Chain A
Amino acid sequence: MSDAYAASERVPLRLRLSRRGIDGVTLLIVPSVLFVLALFIYPFLYGLALSFAPKEGGWLANYQKFFADPFYYDTIWKTLRLAVPVTIINVLLSIPIALRVRLMRHQRVLTTILVLPITLGTVLVADGLLTYLGPRGWLNRLVLDSGFSESPVHLVHNYWGVVLALVVSIFPFTFLLTLSSLTGIDPSLEGAASTLGATPRARFRYIVLPLLAPGLAINFCLSFVQAFSVFPSAVLLGDPAGTTRVISIAAYTAAFEQYDYSLASAIAMIMGLTQLAIVAGLLSSRGLFYRGSAAAAKG
């Protein structure tokens, strides 16, 4: 009797692995995993290590340099000065518009138009705004001809140009995320609220907003991260040596103009960490919100 079971004691490795979900098919992920590890994770680690091996000075010299020299650490402030207002505008603007658009029948037309700036990319948007907002562009044509102002409005090669470029480029993204969060809220919840006497304002305040909040927090994070990474707009449409010298420009200059890859890596790390810190801060406050499904609870 015991002999019959003895043979089954040694389960082959292949079988044991496949029971845990690993077989030939699973191995199909290996090339992609190796690729991402080699070209995403490794460069990060390499850059991190490199940032601690500056051209001169101790292992923290790059970071010390960054935080000691206002020319460098000011870039964080300048970037935040752009990213935070832009993201707040985008998120706040997207809510009332998404509330209306979700009732529309031909949403696809609108979303296609809104996807244009994303598809065209920041470089083209920057170039377009240069022409359009420039001293001889159509906007100033209108401003001067209508008598709104005596002299042209300065919206290029300064802070405002970059703000506009960021809003044009990122708003569609923010909007689409808000719209998708909004449509995830079960409409029968608002129906129920209205039968209980809730006006549209009350429905928004007590039902929609609380259920939207977690999605908005994530939306804010994703949109903020994009805005914080601003680069071509800040160069082409802004004042890259002055008010819009953002942190990405500092990193780029260090890498490709000064050929100081160690410093550039340090700046890139600082950039990544700042984004991470703000995102982490926002997401941890998400714990205050309801985090469950926004669908009506079913039996």
Chain B
Amino acid sequence: MASVSRDFRRLRLDRVSREFGALHALREVSLEVERGEFIALLGPSGCGKTTALNCLAGLLPLTGGGIWLDNARIDRLKPEARGFGMVFQNYALFPHMSVRRNVGFGLRMQKRGRAEIAEKVEAALALVRLGDQGDKLPGQLSGGQQQRVAIARAIVIEPPLVLMDEPLSNLDAKLRLEMRAEIRRIHDQVGSTTIYVTHDQDEAVSLADRVVVMRGGTVRQVGPPAELYARPAHADVAEFMGYRNLLPTRVLSSDAGTARIAIGDAELIGTVIETLPGEAALAAIRPDDLVPRADGTLAATVAAVEYRGRGFFGAARTAAGTELFFRSDARVEPGEALLLGADRNRVLIYAGAA
């Protein structure tokens, strides 16, 4: 089966839409991916990231828009004609075939010679460090091993694009960290282009060259991890990226990118991210950045606190009842009164709801 060019320069999603009856799983999603990039599609469940991946693979047809590989339109092609490698969330290893036959399946479909297949399969198994498990059945392997077989199977056909659908979500925490590093190493070593779906922002941020944050079937923000981490473009992206403090505020004054805001009686200075149409705004602050300071203006009483090795993390309440998540280097006790504050460039201000 002929497959599309291996040496593509750019993959382009052009206003891709996918509807399931009344449900709009994808709404005019546009994205460009350069060869060699590691892209993460990040978002909560239901945001459309897995649908987008399935559309890329050809497992779901589009109801609108197109997908282009350089100048060739590929969204009309069946999956077997696209030649993309895919790693499924449940691995989808063929239970009745040995590891070797699983990995070699794609090459057999390409009608390669026996010797060539054997050679490539061994190389792929070595790459994922499973060289000695070749004759086992998938049912005899552990979760991490199965996942590596799935990866080997996807990359052995040397696809122009590798698609991964939350491949680590079924593994325990330690294995997840290990496999994360493996996946990136393989990507770098093989020089492939990878699109990786996940709901875990730690994973996305540590693996990807660029992260695509999705919600409700649309793209909310695209950018390198550092940018998303430090400067989320919208309040919902901020919330997803770990800005646990999302505080309704009133804008008192604004000037050249900064603004003075009021949270209850306390006043704060922050950085404006979105244009503010009116008085109502949302302030997003990472718990990491909200600390007890001498010049802190937010008065709150500690409600609960826990020690996490790198500091004390806790929740506190203001007199008005607003809950604040903060960090403290020194020990604090429940019931203690604190004055919390943050650097102005770590207080991000977004347009608020009316």
Interface residues of A (CB under 8 A from B): 186, 188-189, 191-199, 202, 206-207, 210-211, 290, 292-299
Contacts and interface: CB of A to CB of B under 8 A. Distances in A.
Interface residues of B, number: 40
A295 B91 CA distance: 11
Nearest to B3: A197
Contacts of B157: 196-197
Contacts of A198: 80, 105, 109
Nearest to A296: B92
Nearest to B60: A191
Given A193-B105, A294-B95, A297-B93, 12 more contacts: A188-B92, A193-B94, A195-B79, A195-B154, A196-B85, A197-B106, A206-B105, A211-B96, A295-B95, A297-B95, A297-B146, A299-B171
A196 B109 contact: yes
List the 3 shortest-distance A-B pairs measured between CB atoms, nearest first: A299-B143, A290-B96, A196-B106
Interface stretch (B134-142, B282-290, B306-314): B134-142
A292 B106 contact: no
Contact of A211 (B95, B146, B170): B95
A294 B138 CA distance: 12
A199 B109 CA distance: 8
A297 B109 CA distance: 22
Nearest to B171: A299
Interface of B: 1, 3, 57-59, 78-80, 82-86, 88, 90-96, 105-106, 109-110, 137-139, 141-144, 146-147, 153-154, 157, 163, 170-171
User: Which of A191, A197, A292 has the largest number of chain B CB atoms within 10 A?
Assistant: A197
Given A188-B90, A297-B93, A292 B137 contact: yes
B171 A290 contact: no
Q: Is the contact region of chain B dominated by helix, strand, or loop, or is it mixed?
A: loop
Given A194-B59, A297-B91, A298-B143, A199 B96 contact: no
Contacts of A199: 1, 80
Contact of A189 (B58, B94, B144): B94
A194 B1 CA distance: 11
14 contacts: A186-B92, A193-B94, A193-B105, A194-B78, A195-B57, A195-B79, A196-B85, A197-B1, A199-B80, A206-B105, A298-B91, A299-B91, A299-B143, A299-B146
Given A197-B3, A197-B83, A297-B138, A192 B92 contact: yes
A202 B81 CA distance: 13
Given A188-B90, A192-B86, A202-B109, A290 B78 contact: no
B154 to A, nearest CB: 8
A185 B305 CA distance: 49
User: Which of B82, B94, B146 has the largest number of chain A CB atoms within 10 A?
Assistant: B94
Contacts of B170: 298-299
A195 B110 contact: no
Contacts of A298: 90-91, 143, 146, 170
A296 B95 contact: yes
Contact of B80 (A194, A206, A211, A297): A194
Contact of A194 (B79, B138, B139): B79
A296 B82 CA distance: 23
A298 B167 CA distance: 11
Nearest to A196: B106
A293 B137 CA distance: 12
A195 B156 CA distance: 13
A12 B105 CA distance: 62
B139 A195 contact: no
Nearest to A210: B96
Contacts of A196: 80, 85, 105-106, 109, 153, 157
Given A292-B96, A299-B147, A191 B79 contact: yes
User: Which of A192, A193, A293, A295 has the largest number of chain B CB atoms within 10 A?
Assistant: A192
A298 B143 CA distance: 7
Contacts of A193: 94, 105
Contacts of B142: 299
Contacts of B90: 186, 188, 296, 298
A299 B168 CA distance: 10
Contacts of A210: 96
A292 B94 CA distance: 11
A210 B98 CA distance: 13
A297 B141 contact: yes
A94 B85 CA distance: 33
Contacts of B171: 299
A181 to B, nearest CB: 14
Contacts of A207: 94
A210 to B, nearest CB: 5
Nearest to B144: A299
A142 to B, nearest CB: 42
A108 to B, nearest CB: 19
A299 B87 CA distance: 14
